[in-house]
Amino acid sequence: MNRVAILFLLFFPLLGAAQEDAFAEDAFFIRKIYDEALTRSRCYDWLNFLTRRIGGRLAGSPQSAAAVEYTRQVLDSLQLDSVWLQSCMVPYWVRGDKEQVRIVNSLKMGTVDLNGLALGNSVGTGTMGITASVVEVKGLDQVDSLGEALRNKIVFFNGSMDPTQLNTFNAYGKAAGQRVWGASRASRYGALGVLVRSLTTRLDDIPHTGSTVYEEGVTPIPAIAISTRDAELLSRLLQEEPVRVFMRNTSQNLGEVPSFNVIGEIKGSEFPEEIILVGGHLDSWDVGTGAHDDGAGCVQAMDILHLARLMGYRPKRTIRCVLFMNEENGLRGARAYWKWSDEKGEYHMAAIESDRGGFTPRGFTADGHEEVFNEKFRKVIEWLPLLEPYGLNFRKGGSGADISGLKGQKGLLFGFEPDSQRYFDYHHTPIDGVDVVNKRELELGAAAIMSLVYLLDKYGI
Amino acid sequence: MNRVAILFLLFFPLLGAAQEDAFAEDAFFIRKIYDEALTRSRCYDWLNFLTRRIGGRLAGSPQSAAAVEYTRQVLDSLQLDSVWLQSCMVPYWVRGDKEQVRIVNSLKMGTVDLNGLALGNSVGTGTMGITASVVEVKGLDQVDSLGEALRNKIVFFNGSMDPTQLNTFNAYGKAAGQRVWGASRASRYGALGVLVRSLTTRLDDIPHTGSTVYEEGVTPIPAIAISTRDAELLSRLLQEEPVRVFMRNTSQNLGEVPSFNVIGEIKGSEFPEEIILVGGHLDSWDVGTGAHDDGAGCVQAMDILHLARLMGYRPKRTIRCVLFMNEENGLRGARAYWKWSDEKGEYHMAAIESDRGGFTPRGFTADGHEEVFNEKFRKVIEWLPLLEPYGLNFRKGGSGADISGLKGQKGLLFGFEPDSQRYFDYHHTPIDGVDVVNKRELELGAAAIMSLVYLLDKYGI
């Protein structure tokens, strides 16, 4: 309670008596949230089940259906006002056989197998695979300048994440274009396939998957991520001799299948039409078990409702937990939700997404419609003295993919922002498991989000 | 550079022209420190060698001698003004056979083996071990109130770390007394041995070692830590029936052996007599490989000199890296250093110890002699606008065990403070290895310390 005491001393002289009382009440309630989250949270157990018992939850997969049912049951057990599934159609992509990426007949090195992982949505090479000469590029622009020289080649995108960015998401944002658009761009000039350097600042043997998108009108060509260490090797070899690579994947898009968002809510007692959404995405990639991305966000969102119940907290506004389906390779769940919510004329006063991993909280990014954002953000900033003792801050910035489409409702959109240093060690890889999630860090995230929900609910914006 | 630009906008209106220039120079230099640390640091490679090639480095062990020689060679390779070893005598304690802790002939559970690890400095049970009834206590005070009832018993200290403390070191500080003093206290009343609940907020099967201290005049009795899960089991069982435990360890103190602190320095060009010390402790426990505790601190301290060289930085004041020996079970290296430094009439203008793990930096604790502390601390606080963009803060608080004895020289003492959430998952256990250290987090720590060293060196205090 030491920090709370310090807060009193710091801020009491500035406040009137009524404000003092409110500040004291809020400071104590937030401290209580943290006490509860650090002792009675169930989010780590839920994450354990979601990852170890169910596993990777690619949209459309049997595991994704299991995750829908499991989380629905958990929400059902919390005695909420309502729990329901919201249907959506999702693309069902399957990886197929273990990918092969092989340097063939190098003069210096002979034949070398590289660690490869097909990008999500990638078409397959056909069962015989593709063998072709490799051309290295650093990014999309270089593809355009090389143009026809890429015909019948395998294009190797070797742009790397900038390690000097303190926030690794900034480095990711700059480097992700080659993964998303590389195949389409190279296909314009007749390339046969693409290899993409994995998106991580680490130098290791672990390939990172993630979505690739085929632009309308281009011939889809296969795309495989290779590990950063293998990217370095391939690049060095290309400086010394022409290199031919054999690549093979049997990935396929199996069309659309039905799936669901999972939703639970506690109805507001005074302003039920003002919705505070907390959410994450329930799907993950098929490799690994999607612990940080985004099992962590889902169980934190569920824990908000759980903590509210534990603490006997009756919200004035409606608190709704939404676990979105298909964020990774389609955003279909989110789109279905936005459409449904807009058609009902709903108003999301605030939405908070947790989709940057289950690490120690640092704060929230905030975003919103330009007509209202600055005024609303100013209001939120006033809560900082209550949140800073917990290491939380606000900054302007994108919120989360699944809630971004709610901007038109003119509420505030928040992205929960934990420490970013380790996220891209695990992102979209086989090692994103619950063993690399720290229980306390995960719980602190739930407490941070619940604290913001409490202030949003109490004061409105 | 975005943050730097924001800093300009925020602070330029408040500053005179000369101050503006200085602020700009400092902001850019600190940004450059981070760029270098995140791209050309060698601290992770050094840590890899220290942990994987050398291993656990208990004072007096052959591995500790290897670590002295390895780090001396590394410092030698940095072309410093001087590198030397400072001798000291250290206690050499050896663990002996694998410890046994066994619940015998329980009515409910039969015979159950618990996960035990002798506390450092513990005497052995003798080769036949000890079997006795167990009495559970929550802390030292309870020992005094039970008094003679503990004669010929095994006392089980089951105080736990408070999970609601945001900073886990606070929880550790409150709970560590039973580990350090439990054996002595119980021995006063004729107990035969002690079992101690491991110091971690996690519930798992991993016992944590750490030092126990025998008070003068008491009969030393053996002390073994058990895992938190086993502590819970033992406690539950004690509520249902009397429990007898067999405990056995063959640990011994082998007397004193010679060892060394490792020191390297760059002489100051203007004020060579004003010393800025950066340090960590080179010894670790024998289990695990002492990666966070305190390999991380050592390689960060070495990296300060490396970064200075890389950047062609010529300090005005003397920058000295000290790798202390025997912090864990004696502090003999530190005591030898203090004595030597005081006798030479040295002045440590500042000393910074990194001994809280290689996690994402949050700032520094600061401490110092009461006659000068407040005034000097005010000076340091003025640098916050330069450090806050990197997530760094200052707070008053203890610095580090190895530098605490320099307080009499009336400089400022700092403890580097990283995020504390994961530290006690690994502390003093077999799983404190380089695989649980994140390279970027480690490098950011080196950059944070180097930034403070730069400001201390440029402006003095």
HSE-up of residue A397 (Cα within 13 Å, Cβ side)? 14
Instruction: Judge: A164–B39 Cβ closer than 8 Å, yes or no.
Output: yes
The answer to whether A444 contacts B166, with C-beta atoms less than 8 Å apart, is yes
> What is d(CA A128, CA A120) in angstroms, rounded to the nearest whole number?
20
Task: Sort out which chain B residues have CB atoms less than 8 A from A438's CB and list them.
Answer: 421-422, 425
Position A17 scores a pLDDT of 80
Structure tokens at B108: 């409910």
Cα–Cα distances in angstroms (integers) from residue B135 to residues B169, B177, B191, in the given order:
28, 18, 10
Q: Within an 8 Å CB–CB cutoff, is residue A391 touching chain B?
A: yes
Of B352, B350, B349, nearest to B297 by C-alpha is B352
Tell how many helices (H) and how many strands (E) occur in chain A.
Answer: 14, 16
- The position carrying tokens 């396929």 is A252
Interface confidence (ipTM) of the complex: 0.91
* Contact assignment for B425 to A444 by CB distance below 8 Å: no
Which tokens in the block code for residue A90? 């999702």
Partner residue facing B164 (CB), from A34, A391, A441: A34
Q: Does A438 touch chain B (CB under 8 A)?
A: yes
Half-sphere exposure of A107 (CA within 13 A, CB side): 7
Is A50 in contact with A63 (CB distance < 8 Å)?
A: no
Q: What string of pLDDT tens digits covers the 461 residues of chain B?
A: 455 555 555 555 556 788 889 999 999 999 999 999 999 999 999 999 999 999 999 999 999 999 999 999 999 999 999 999 999 999 999 999 999 999 998 999 999 999 999 999 999 999 999 999 999 999 999 999 999 999 999 999 999 999 999 999 999 999 999 999 999 999 999 999 999 999 999 999 999 999 999 999 999 999 999 999 999 999 999 999 999 999 999 999 999 999 999 999 999 999 999 999 999 999 999 999 999 999 999 999 999 999 999 999 999 999 999 999 999 999 999 999 999 999 999 999 999 999 999 999 999 999 999 999 999 999 999 999 999 999 999 999 999 999 999 999 999 999 999 999 999 999 999 999 999 999 999 999 999 999 999 999 999 99
Given an 8 Å threshold on Cβ–Cβ distance, is A166 in contact with B422? no
Tell me if the bond preceding B294 is cis, omega within 30° of 0.
yes
Query: Of A53, A116, A60, nearest to A284 (Cα)?
Result: A60
Helix (H) or strand (E) holding A280: strand A271-281
Q: Rounded CA gap, B232 and B251, in Å?
A: 26
Contact between B439 and A34 using a beta-carbon 8 Å cutoff? no
Secondary structure (DSSP) of A283-322: ---SSS--IIIIIHHHHHHHHHHHHHHHTT---SEEEEEE
Among the listed residues B414, B424, B302, the one whose alpha carbon sits nearest the alpha carbon of residue B359: B424
Nearest CA in chain A to B167: A390
**For residue B254, what are the contacts with CB-CB under 8 A and spacing of at least 6?**
B60, B92, B93, B94
Contacts of B44 in chain A (CB under 8 A): none
Look at A425 and B438 and tell me if their CB atoms are within 8 Å. Answer: yes
Nearest in space to B298 (alpha carbons), one of B277, B283, B281? B281
Q: How far apart are CA A146 and CA A132, in angstroms?
A: 17
Do B248 and B293 form a contact (C-beta atoms < 8 A)? no
Residue A423 pLDDT more than 70? yes
* Nearest residue of A to residue B390, measured between CA atoms: A166
Q: Is A121 within 8 Å of A60 (Cβ atoms)?
A: no
Token readout for B358 is 């290689």
- Residue among A168, A390, A438 minimizing CB distance to B166: A390
Average pLDDT, chain A: 96
CATH class of A2-91+255-459: alpha beta
Q: Which of A391, A448, A390 is nearest to A415 (CA)?
A: A448
Whether A427 and A293 have beta carbons less than 8 Å apart is answered as yes
B88 to chain A, minimum CA–CA distance in Å? 39
Strands A100-106 and A110-114: antiparallel
Task: Tell me the two tokens of residue A457.
Answer: 């609910």
Chain A touched by B422 (CB under 8 Å): yes
Other Cβ atoms less than 10 A from the Cβ of A241: the count is: 11
Query: Average pLDDT, stretch A55-80?
Result: 98
Q: Give the mutation candidate from A2, A169, A228, A421 for the B interface (greatest B CB count, under 10 A).
A: A421
The bridge status of strand A244-248 relative to strand A223-226 is unpaired
Quote the CA–CA distance of A307 and A89 in Å, as a whole number: 32
Give, in degrees to the nearest 5, the angle at Cα A66 between A63 and A72: 145
Closest-CA distance of chain A to residue B40, Å: 10
Asked if residue A308 lies in contact with residue A36, where contact means CB atoms within 8 angstroms, the answer is no
Residue A86 near residue A260 (C-beta atoms within 8 A): yes
What are the tokens at B355? Answer: 């001994």
**Per-residue pLDDT, B57:** 98
Which of A163, A201, A438 is closest, CB to CB, to B421?
A438
Contact A166 B34 (CB under 8 A): yes
- The neighbouring-strand residues paired with A414 are A352, A366
DSSP A404: G
On whether the CB atoms of residues B153 and B133 are closer than 8 A, the answer is: yes
Dist. CA B281–CA B267, nearest whole Å: 22
State the smallest CA–CA distance between residue A154 and chain B in angstroms.
Answer: 30
Could you tell me where the beta strands, DSSP code E, fall in B71-163?
A: 82-94, 100-106, 110-114, 116-118, 130-137, 154-157
The per-residue pLDDT for A1 is: 42
DSSP count for chain B of H helices, then E strands: 14, 16
Asked whether the predicted pLDDT for residue A161 surpasses 80, the reply is yes
Q: Which two tokens stand for residue A283?
A: 């799907």
At the topology level of CATH, where does B96-250 sit? Answer: Glucose Oxidase; domain 1 (3.50.30)
CATH code 3.40.630.10 for B2-90+255-459: yes
Continuous H helices in B54-139: 62-76
CA distances in angstroms from B237 to A48, B106, B108, B109, B112, listed in the order given: 27, 9, 8, 9, 11
**Token pair 């005591």: residue:** B335
Q: Which of B38, B390, B421 sits opposite A164 (nearest CB)?
A: B38
Q: How far is A252 from chain B (nearest CA, A)?
A: 36
DSSP SS3 for B204: coil
> How many whole angstroms separate alpha carbon A46 and alpha carbon A434?
10
- Chain A: residue whose CA lies nearest to B441: A421
8 Å CB contact of A34 and B166: yes
Q: Check CB contact under 8 Å for B166 and A439.
A: no
Picking from A174, A439, A443 by the largest number of B CB atoms within 10 A of its own CB, the best residue to mutate is A439
Q: Are B105 and B128 in contact (CB under 8 A)?
A: no
Which burial class, exposed, middle or buried, applies to A328 when counting CB atoms under 10 A from its CB (0-12, 13-18, 19+)?
Answer: buried
- Helices marked H in A207-312 — which ranges? 228-238, 296-310
Q: What is the pLDDT of residue B1?
A: 41
Chain A residues in contact with B166 (beta carbon < 8 A): 3, 34, 390-391, 444
Closest chain B C-alpha to A425 CA, distance in angstroms: 9
DSSP state letter for A405: G
Kindly report the nearest CA distance between residue A302 and chain B, in angstroms.
21
Return the residue in A419, A427, A431, A437 with the most chain B beta carbons within 10 A, the one to mutate for interface testing. Answer: A419
| Cα–Cα distance, B121 to B221 (Å, whole number) | 11
Residue A368 tokens read as: 């919103």
| Among candidates B34, B362, B421 on the partner chain, residue whose Cβ is nearest the Cβ of A441 | B421
Q: What is the CA radius of gyration of chain B?
A: 24
Q: What is the DSSP string of B308-336?
A: HHHTT---SEEEEEEEES-TTTT-HHHHH
DSSP B407-453: GGG--EEEEEEE--TTHHHHTTSTT-SGGGS-HHHHHHHHHHHHHHH
Query: In whole angstroms, how far apart are CA A152 and each of A187, B36, B122?
Result: 10, 40, 71
* Helix/strand/coil for B23: helix
pLDDT of residue A368 exceeding 80, the answer is: yes
* For B426, nearest residue in chain A (alpha carbons): A438
- Residue B367: cis peptide before it, omega within 30 degrees of 0: no
B164 and A38 within 8 Å at the Cβ level: the answer is: yes
Sheet containing A271-281, strands listed edge to edge, beginning at the edge strand earlier in sequence: A82-94, A252-266, A317-324, A271-281, A347-353, A412-418, A361-368, A393-396
Helix axes A296-310, A439-459, angle to 10 degrees: 60
Answer whether residue A6 shows pLDDT above 80.
Answer: no
Residues B20, B21, B24, CA angle at the centre, nearest 5°? Answer: 85
Check CB contact of B34 with chain A, cutoff 8 Å.
yes
Distance, CA of B409 to CA of A95 (rounded, Å): 65
CA A88 from chain centre, in angstroms, equals: 19
pTM given for the model: 0.94
Residues of chain B with CATH 3.50.30.30: 96-250
Residue-level length of chain A = 461
Our CA-based measurement puts residue B35 at a distance from the nearest CA of chain A, in whole angstroms, of 5
Flag if A439 and B202 touch (Cβ within 8 Å): yes
Closest CA to A72 of A248, A232, A230, A259: A259
pLDDT band at residue A199 under the 50/70/90 scheme: very high
B320 with B275: CB under 8 angstroms? yes
Whether A202 and B439 lie within 8 Å, measured CB to CB: yes
Distance from CA of A401 to the nearest CA of B (A): 24
Taking 90 as the threshold, does the pLDDT of residue A34 lie above it?
A: yes
